[in-house]
Structure 1
Amino acid sequence: MTTTASPARSRIDETVAHRLLESSRTLSFDPTTEVDWDAPLDPTQHGLSPEWSSLYGTPLWDRMTPEQRVTLTRHEACSVMSTGIWFEMILQQMVLRELYASDPTRSEFMFGLTEIADECRHSIMFARAMQTMGVPAYGPSRLAVELARGYKTLATGESAYGGILVAEEVLDIYQRDLMRDERVLPVIRTTSRIHVVEESRHMTFAREEMKAALEGASAARRLRSGTLIAIVASVIVGNLVHPKVYAAAGLDVREAVAAAKDNPHHAAMLRTSSAHLMEFLDECGLVGGPARRIYSRLHLL
């Protein structure tokens, strides 16, 4: 896999980094005390807003019983959390590598370590939520796991932070809906709220790092980086919902996978969730050529 960052690493504005660091000091959460882990699980409440289910709006969804819908959304939510944990571990390694041998007195350095600490808490929070709901950790495919070994080891600059931004932004709108939806389990609403608040700083940091890395970048480099980021997006989106979630709800897996793949409602929800992301990547010159075709196929454009 080809890296795309320039040898001399550009630095982000210290004013921005300091502001993010101050925000983390005043607006951070401890999931061990913020989440009511002992609250009973109402059998009628979903794991995610029904409209965000991969099958919502399909004839198959219409045939499902209310119990099947609850089961499916709970398993879909945990599938997303499993993939989230996987990518958060990738993110931590990339950020730590970007900070290696950096000036520790800079706010950029301190916020980078703060982000890693946040992600550690988030991963534990999601793991505990899955444990509380009694749903297995589905995780990404073996192919995705192996491909990511190269990405997390070699990607730098805009290629690293672009992948980070994709993972964070695609889930942001989704979780904003979940945290406000009374039909969703309280444990999911609270964990979503914590994640949304703290990830907003991470997204700002990733955008600033990308802009700094791309200063003076050639059109050819932007094309290469944009293509790599789009490939990463394809892997992330393709692993959000594990096929086994359909079996857990008593559905025929092959039928359900086909229905989800051709579901125009879910495609529209994905486009809505990625609108700001696509706008930013386009402004950075990272949505040209192959990248645009990949995003269109993923329903992100």
Structure 2
Amino acid sequence: MEGLTRGKDMGASVSADTAEFRALLEKLSDKATADYYNPYTAFDWPEVIPTDDFWMSPELLTVHGTEMMDVLTPEQLRALSRWESVHFYSLNVHGIRELLIEVMRRIHTPGFETPSEFFHHFVGEENDHMWFFATFCLRYAGKIYPDKKLKLPEVPRDAAIENFLVFVRILVFEQIVDHYNVRLAGDERLHTTIRHLNRLHHQDESRHIAFGRRLVQLLWEQLVAAGIDAPTRRETSNYVDRYITTSMESFYNPAVYRDAGIADGYALRQRLIAHPARQGAHDRVLHKTMDFLTRIGVLDAGW
């Protein structure tokens, strides 16, 4: 990790204070104001959500495309959809907590003067999201699944590289989640509360993603302009690739399989992660993210 730990100081600023960037931030801030809703009054939480309905689209289940779709009974598939739904919202709670901490560390600090105004919209909306995802889990499942995602090794890095990696992680997380939001919001087989939850989240995330893509590109361009060396660039790319992989693998939770009444969840997790159909499903989820990171030069072509 020498390139990341002892590379040339790249500087920590988001210095691209361009008219184009400011115009984007102003547009997104105006849209955030226009789209504002009170999360505490936006939901008419029902007493129960029927357990004999799907809570997650079958096509989004971690067993979809594998022989397990035929092995599991209809009752088991519905139970799995219920617990994978709760797990998905639990992942959102943990992911939002992480990104809020990182953004709050940077708001109104040197180098982040330009995006700080939009950060206020971002922080407020993400806090709302964390509340309504947690509320869903606690109301209808009585729990939030613990955060079990594999943590990547922490190493000291140049501040500019750390800033870049923080906002790449946020962007990757948001684009993965948004892939599910769009499909869940449009699935008429699901309860209206589930669809409404995902529709509201997508409405806000579309702005966050537009902001995140531009910020990540600016931060990467600054690293390249500052002369990031080949070993550092390779290690940075490898870190991003590992983060993307662990993010997708976090969807496969043995505790979810246990709650759905499926035996030997740990072995099932390993079989599913390695299954060709699941790798194809990951590619579909990640397509926009990987294409963007390849286009700007963070990842190599042919991912």
The TM-score by the shorter chain falls in which range? Answer: 0.7 to 0.9
Structure 2 distance, partners of 1:229, 1:100, is 26
The aligned amino acid for 1:17 is L
- 1:58 deviates by 2.3
1:188 partner amino acid? I
8 A Cα contact 1:58 1:259, kept in partner = no
Are 2:82 and 1:74 aligned?
yes
Match of 1:116 in 2: 123
Q: Pick the aligned partner of 2:243 from 210, 220, 232.
A: 232
Aligned partner letter, 1:276 = K
1:59 partner amino acid: E
Would you say how many aligned residue pairs link Structure 1 and Structure 2? 288
Deviates more, 1:173-182 or 1:230-239: 230-239
**Residue of structure 1 in register with 2:26 after alignment:** 18
Q: Go from structure 1 to structure 2 and tell me whether the alpha carbon gap of 1:15 and 1:149 turns closer, same or farther (over 3 Å shift).
A: same
Aligned AA (1:61): M
The CA distance in 2 between the partners of 1:59 and 1:234, in whole Å, is 23
1:118-137 map, 5 Å? 118-137=125-144
Q: Are 1:241 and 2:241 matched, yes or no?
A: no
Structure number with greater Rg is 2
Shift of 1:17: 0.8
Larger mean Cα displacement after TM superposition, 55-64 or 20-29? 55-64
Map 1:125-204 → 2, pairs under 5 A? 125-141=132-148, 143-144=150-151, 147=152, 156-204=162-210
Q: How does 1:258-277 map to 2 (within 5 A)?
A: 258-277=270-289
1:57-114 deviation per Cα after TM superposition (whole angstroms, max 9, x unaligned): 322221222221111111112112212211211111211222242489x662111121
Percent identity between the aligned chains? 23
CA distance in 1, matches of 2:298, 2:229: 9
Deviations 1:30-60 (A, max 9, x none): 3322222125412332121001101123222
CA change 1:213–1:108 in 2 (3 A) is same
Matched AA of 1:136: K
User: For 2:48 and 2:163, how far apart are their aligned partners in 1?
Assistant: 45
Does the 8 Å contact 2:56/2:82 carry over to 1?
A: yes
Letter of the 2:57 partner, please give it: S
Q: Is the 8 Å Cα contact of residues 80 and 241 (structure 1) preserved in structure 2?
A: no
TM-score, length-normalised on structure 1?
0.85
Alignment partner of 1:208 is 2:220:
no
CA contact (8 A) 1:48 1:178 kept: yes
Give the distance between the partners of 1:51 and 1:272, measured in 2 at CA. 12
| Distance across 1 between alignment mates of 2:71 and 2:297 | 44
Post-superposition offset of 1:279: 0.9
Q: 1:132 to 1:264 in 2, by over 3 A?
A: farther
Please, what is the CA RMSD of the aligned residues?
A: 2.8
- Unpaired segments ≥5 residues, structure 2: none
Q: Which amino acid aligns with 1:246?
A: Y
Give 2:36's aligned residue: 28
Per-residue CA distance 1:256-285 (angstroms, 9 max, x = gap): 324422433332222112111111100121
Give the 5 Å matches for 1:44-59.
44-59=52-67
Distance 1:64 1:135 in 2: 25
